[in-house]
Amino acid sequence: MAAGGELTSTGYIKHHLTNWSVGEGFWTWHVDTLAWSIGLGILFISLFRYVGVRATTGVPGKLQCFIEMIVEFVDDNVKSTFHGRNPIIAPLALTIFVWVFLMNLMDLVPVDFIPVLAQQIGAAMGYDPHHVYMKIVPTTDLNMTVALALGVFTLMIYYSIKIKGVGGFVKELTMHPFNHPAFIPVNFILETVTLLAKPLSLALRLFGNLYAGELIFILIALLGLYQLPLHFPWAVFHILVIVLQAFIFMMLTIVYLSMAHEDH
């Protein structure tokens, strides 16, 4: 169903793209983003632990086979891309890939299903349903993608200093690409921009693709009963986007951390 009630098309779109927020200013918390991302993270950990505890050395079941395929896929990519020695990288890459994939996967849930249910619950509790918001795709929230990117950025800085030392890290920022003291200001500007562009591109790429996909689903939903001929092919195509964006985020994380481990 599309708009329903007194909502115009513009109001309908804005309502679906508005987060359930608590607080004001800098300390505004997007409750729906936090709840869904944490819930999907718990689902990921619980599912993998369930399979790990019940794993057999004989003929694996379908679920165990599927999980093993994911683990081997991530492990192969880490081995071919990461050239340092760090036992954390493979589990980190697996966590990023599966968690981001699950958050992206929520984009395939019909756009009206859970928000309308939340409105009905809110109305039953005495709230105005037009002021009850529920965004179920955490990666359509820029705060979430920036938080993920900042986590990767923090690890990049940490391992750069740990492997190269403070002096090596500062030298990397000031003596590349022109290895001459006269070019230190130019080198510092170029390297700082390059360094900051990594988390920025990680956050904006994931957010932009998922936000655009969600917006198209909402626009298709405005067609009401005529949405099915467009909804199905877009959903099939969006499956590729969902997997690809999780894979790109994982691979760039591995590449950035591999660069942080390089000691020239």
pLDDT at residue number 130: 82
Nearest Cα neighbor of 103 from 174, 40, 21 is 40
Lowest mean pLDDT among 54-58, 122-126, 253-257: 54-58
pLDDT at residue number 1: 40
pLDDT at residue number 2: 41
Whether the predicted pLDDT of 211 surpasses 80? yes
- Which residue is listed with tokens 């500062």? 170
Percent of the chain with pLDDT over 90: 63
Q: In 10 A of CB 66, how many CB atoms?
A: 12
Q: Where are the alpha helices (DSSP H) in the chain?
A: 9-16, 31-53, 62-81, 89-105, 113-124, 142-174, 184-221, 228-260
Structure tokens at 87: 């036992």
pLDDT, tens digit (0-9, with 9 covering 90-100), for 28-43 = 999 999 999 999 999 9
What is the distance between the alpha carbons of residues 241 and 42, in angstroms, rounded to a whole number?
23
Q: Which is more confident, 231 or 35?
A: 35
Q: Which is more confident, 7 or 245?
A: 245
Q: How far is CA 172 from CA 150, 236, 259, in A?
A: 21, 45, 12
pLDDT, tens digit (0-9, with 9 covering 90-100), for 88-139 = 999 999 999 999 999 999 999 988 889 989 989 988 888 888 888 999 999 9
Lowest mean pLDDT among 18-27, 192-201, 208-217, 225-234: 225-234
Whether the predicted pLDDT of 3 surpasses 90? no
pLDDT at residue number 4: 42
Residues with catalytic function: 201, 205, 209
pLDDT-based confidence at residue 6 (cuts at 50, 70, 90)? low
Structure tokens at 183: 């070019």
